[in-house]
Structure 1
Amino acid sequence: MQVPQLDLTRAHRGLEVELLAAAEKVILSGRYALGEEVSGFEAAIAELSGAAEAVAVNSGTDALNLALMAAGIGSGAEVVTTPFTFFATVEAILAVGARPVFVDIDPGTFNVNPQLVERALTARTRALLPVHLFGHPADMPRLEDVAEAEGGLLLIEDCAQAVGASLNGVPVGSFGDLAAFSFYPTKNLGALGDAGAVVTRYPDYAAAVRRLRNHGQSAPYHHDTRGLNSRMDELQAAFLNVKLRRLSAWNQERRKLAATYGELLAGISEVETPTELAGCYHVYHQYAVRVGARDDVLAELKEAGIGATVYYPVPLHLMKVLSFLGHKPGDFPEAERAAREVLCLPIYPGLTAKEQDYVAEHLKRAVKRHPQSKGEG
């Protein structure tokens, strides 16, 4: 049996007619950028995230970059974030000339540990940038307390992997001053190409992002500042408007799949299944387990045709491109341990019970053959 890491065609089954109709509507409209589909999607994603406004942009990476730019964060500023995430989080910080400052993660949620944030703050700290990794909300109330206690540090959420997630009934994206979403095709809500959005409760920030995404224009050919070319295409907005109506059902399906994995792997001491803290609504963009001898286990799963994947094999502070920060192994031990142990199993709408049984059975066999304890290595 082959169980792919991800099969996007399964989520699109039954949507083909709607997606083609949406594309045809855009083609016939003659309006391909910043039209009705984009404005409609902006209204919908603002409502979903509990924000006052949303601004559709070209990608999740641009959303982070534009959020930082709109907030006025630039050269000389420090932004506190996690070393265990996709590189785009730090890439955006670097793009505006700021310096990333890392804080180690909570080993249960893989999110930044709020108890460690205060010791990372300096007179140059301008913002906290937590990531809701794998779909589990970060501890936003405690991070809000830290931001307020330090005289109102900016709080910018990276929601790239967590669209539809919530904490105590409050959706991610509504806690921070600004938040960035990605709609890359592999995300829980994915376009058929690149797309992203910035959401905010503040009209001034929304207006700034709108200018910045369109070359810094306040009016046609009147440029107030240097911006980017980061408009969301009408076509991608049209596709997202179709798919957004299914997001809740898809996230519920992911949660059911996660529960099934939890049942199948219960009692296997060599496998640590994901945490969902009280009050959190985890949307399982990834189903991230921890195993010892991870790379050996992964090799066996791949031999069995299972598309398990490692996110992320190298924590950011040990990346060559960030060597100028001066970090060394051991600086962030939980992030480093996660990079050694985390293994993401296939999880997506349309995954079958037979496929999950197959994945779980082969994982059980592999960890028994490679019994290295977690934390070793």
Structure 2
Amino acid sequence: MKTIPIVDLKRQYRTIRPSIDEGIRTVVASQHFILGVQTERFEKAFADFCGKRYAVALRSGTDALYAALAAMGIKPRDEVIVPALTFIATAEVVTLLGGRVVFCDVDRESGLAQAKDIQKVMTKKSKFVIPVHLYGQIAPMDEIFRLARSRKVQVIEDAAQAHGAIYKKMMAPIGRVAAYSFYPAKNLGAYGDAGALVTDDRTLYENTLLFRNHGQPKGEKYRHVRIGSNLRMDEIQAAVLSVKLRYLHGWTSRRRQLAKYYDRELSKVEGISLLTTLPFSKPAYHLYCIRAKARDDLQAYLAQKGIETRIHYPLPLHLQPAYRHLGYRRGDFPNAQRLAAEILCLPMFPELTIGEVATVCRTIAKFYQLQGKPHVRQHPVYQHASSP
């Protein structure tokens, strides 16, 4: 039985193999593996891609969040607001730096934290908020920035899933700083872990450069002007990412094309609700996710038919055992919990064919037909205005 994977990195490699192999060979031949010309080239190219002045290449997206908080001066017991529905790294860095994580709910129809969700949990101790551009859609940042300014709270954008996403003709960061991940399966993926911090703020940029390399000024060895860490991206990852970055605009356009097909076909299926796209947003579709009735049964049925799916994320952060000590309970963030019970992520990668997407859609429709439910409706409940 032919399978349809959630992502297929081998297909991508086959399309760009000569350039990737040449980039890796260049690094190996140079025998310069840390903070060399490849890193500098990638930093400039990625900053240009994002329309920003500076990018700092780092070891992972987690490290990018960590470095941003550290460079912006987080102090022990500072409260940092994080959406309850995201990957745990967004909260982990706060805990590791001695801050106190405060979770907030998300919008049920988009999965994004909104200003009203953040405001509900703000206190006088709130110092940072980390909006997550979940699944590749930028959060409603205008309202979040207005709230943050009024409460003197700093904002760090978690753009780990949003490479190439657009918000009112801008890419992240919409504000001062954004953290990106280049985990292999991301829209721009390395061949290992990697990440970057992007900013227009020179002071933040320079502080992050120091922090990623043990507090050493550029070009100096064994003189440390501040406490830092080892958060450096290696040269092989930088070379790989530089090659892939040349294709990212095209890959993003293809993701939007596939999402548009999914939207059109799945909007006809009773039992499926499409996540909303905000009117000012042009998502990058790192993940294509739906809300599904009988989600677990649907996932099992698709697996039987050779279609791989994932759940991002099955347990909200406030209910994770690692954060039990914070005292949250079931029901505290009902939208996050409801989405965790309904969300299902379908195959999405640029090399996916329209025929494969059509097969996924037909198989989902067939599942609900077999359930004895009407499988076609005239007026979709959650219409999704995808970008072409």
Report the TM-score, using the length of structure 1 for normalisation. Answer: 0.95
Q: Give, as a single letter, the amino acid of the residue that structure 2 aligns with 1:182.
A: S
1:204 maps onto 2:210 in alignment: no
8 Å CA contact 2:78–2:127 kept in 1: the answer is yes
Q: Which 10-residue stretch deviates more, 206-215 or 315-324?
A: 206-215
8 Å CA contact 1:128–1:156 kept in 2: the answer is yes
Tell me the alpha carbon deviations over residues 24-80 of structure 1, each in whole angstroms, 9 at most, x when there is no partner.
111122211111110111111112222221100000011111111111113110111
Distance 1:40 1:165 in 2: 22
Matched residue, 2:157 = 157
Distance 2:320 2:79 in 1: 19
Q: Secondary structure at the match of 1:240?
A: helix
8 Å CA contact 1:215–1:229 kept in 2: the answer is yes
Tell me the alpha carbon deviations over residues 124-173 of structure 1, each in whole angstroms, 9 at most, x when there is no partner.
1111100000001101111110111113x111000000011011101122
8 Å CA contact 1:132–1:159 kept in 2: the answer is yes
Distance 2:278 2:58 in 1: 32
Tell me the alpha carbon deviations over residues 273-304 of structure 1, each in whole angstroms, 9 at most, x when there is no partner.
23222121111111100011111111111111
1:333 maps onto 2:325 in alignment: no
Distance 1:15 1:119 in 2: 47
Q: Secondary structure at the match of 1:307?
A: coil
Alpha-carbon deviation of 1:369? 3.9
Q: Secondary structure at the match of 1:252?
A: helix
Summarize the Cα distance change of 1:370–1:158 in structure 2 as closer, same or farther, 3 Å threshold. farther
Matched residue, 1:243 = 244
8 Å CA contact 2:138–2:283 kept in 1: the answer is yes
Distance 2:373 2:230 in 1: 49
Q: Secondary structure at the match of 2:206?
A: helix
Q: What pairs up with 1:84-95 in 2 under 5 angstroms?
A: 84-95=85-96
8 Å CA contact 2:57–2:233 kept in 1: the answer is yes
1:276 maps onto 2:277 in alignment: yes
Summarize the Cα distance change of 1:302–1:215 in structure 2 as closer, same or farther, 3 Å threshold. same
What RMSD, in angstroms, separates the aligned Cα atoms of the two structures? 1.6
Q: Give, as a single letter, the amino acid of the residue that structure 2 aligns with 1:24.
A: R
Identity of aligned residues (%): 39
Q: Which 10-residue stretch deviates more, 130-139 or 207-216?
A: 207-216
The unaligned stretches of length 5 or more in structure 2 are 375-380, 382-388
Matched residue, 2:212 = 213
Matched residue, 2:97 = 96
Alpha-carbon deviation of 1:247? 0.2
Alpha-carbon deviation of 1:372? 9.3
1:181 maps onto 2:180 in alignment: yes
Summarize the Cα distance change of 1:302–1:122 in structure 2 as closer, same or farther, 3 Å threshold. same
8 Å CA contact 2:270–2:368 kept in 1: the answer is no
8 Å CA contact 2:195–2:233 kept in 1: the answer is yes
Q: Secondary structure at the match of 1:73?
A: coil
Alpha-carbon deviation of 1:223? 2.0
Q: What pairs up with 1:129-148 in 2 under 5 angstroms?
A: 129-148=130-149
Q: What pairs up with 1:1-377 in 2 under 5 angstroms?
A: 1-151=2-152, 153-173=153-173, 175-218=174-217, 219-370=220-371
8 Å CA contact 1:293–1:371 kept in 2: the answer is no
Distance 2:49 2:159 in 1: 12
Distance 2:120 2:29 in 1: 56
Q: Secondary structure at the match of 1:14?
A: helix
Tell me the alpha carbon deviations over residues 221-259 of structure 1, each in whole angstroms, 9 at most, x when there is no partner.
122333221111111101110000100000000000001
8 Å CA contact 2:315–2:340 kept in 1: the answer is yes
The unaligned stretches of length 5 or more in structure 1 are none
Matched residue, 2:377 = none
Q: Which runs of 4+ in 1 moved over 6 A?
A: 371-374
Q: Give, as a single letter, the amino acid of the residue that structure 1 aligns with 2:181.
A: S
Alpha-carbon deviation of 1:368? 3.6
Distance 1:274 1:147 in 2: 26
Alpha-carbon deviation of 1:109? 1.7
Alpha-carbon deviation of 1:116? 2.3
Report the TM-score, using the length of structure 2 for normalisation. Answer: 0.93
